[in-house]
Chain A
Amino acid sequence: GAVVSQHPSWVICKSGTSVKIECRSLDFQATTMFWYRQFPKQSLMLMATSNEGSKATYEQGVEKDKFLINHASLTLSTLTVTSAHPEDSSFYICSARVGTGTGELFFGEGSRLTVL
């Protein structure tokens, strides 16, 4: 199947710093990518939908100024956690859609963020 790669796979940062997580579709173009957040032993919650060349659509309760999403190309979307705090510590997973419409979704390996 198609490959979606996330980088970094894990990151530790100090409170107050910003962290950028990249999501790349390696062998296909992804018009739409999704960012999810997963707390320990919990389900995945959709944070935002990222469309190439346009502003991301955020889910209710997700601070768009806190979680900056940029989808500048058909193979790359980035999530920047600004001024990170310990409560932002979580597992962040992106997924990318193959093509449009009902194209299959593929998930990245996830990025584990720990804010000290």
Chain B
Amino acid sequence: AQKVTQAQTEISVVEKEDVTLDCVYETRDTTYYLFWYKQPPSGELVFLIRRNSFDEQNEISGRYSWNFQKSTSSFNFTITASQVVDSAVYFCALSVGYGGSQGNLIFGKGTKLSVKP
């Protein structure tokens, strides 16, 4: 069975602090995709990143960076120099296999990040 665990329910930081959101996944499939989404208070899901299981390279996009480690089944997300606008619920998700009905996403429970000025 597949599972995504986001152990941190809520995190509160002060602006300009760095913050890391943890994500641990479980799957027996060798082909899978990992995602991070941001859900601001307005509700829509904002796509942040997709990483496939064959690409363990870390990625940096502006203030965002992701650390994918297959050895620990983790896909952690770091925001450097956090800003108030980063306040949202962040979801880590897993998709296994290729295409069709196997492409649905299994979401973690989310981490609510509050960045205070």
Contact = CB atoms under 8 A, between A and B. Distances in A.
A49 interface: yes
Contacts of B77: none
Interface in B34-67: 35, 37, 42-45, 47, 50, 52
B103 A108 contact: no
A109 B46 CA distance: 9
B47 to A, nearest CB: 7
* Secondary structure of the B contact surface, majority rule: mixed
B33 A108 contact: no
Contact of B45 (A93, A100, A102): A93
Interface residues of A, number: 26
A46 B105 contact: yes
* Secondary structure of the A contact surface, majority rule: strand
A49 to B, nearest CB: 5
Nearest to B101: A49
Interface residues of B, number: 24
B91 A44 contact: yes
Contacts of B43: 91, 93, 109-110, 112
Given A46-B106, A102-B98, A112-B43, 9 more contacts: A32-B103, A42-B110, A44-B107, A49-B104, A101-B103, A102-B103, A105-B47, A105-B105, A110-B45
Interface of A: 1, 32, 34, 42-46, 49, 51, 57, 91, 93, 95, 97, 100-102, 104-110, 112
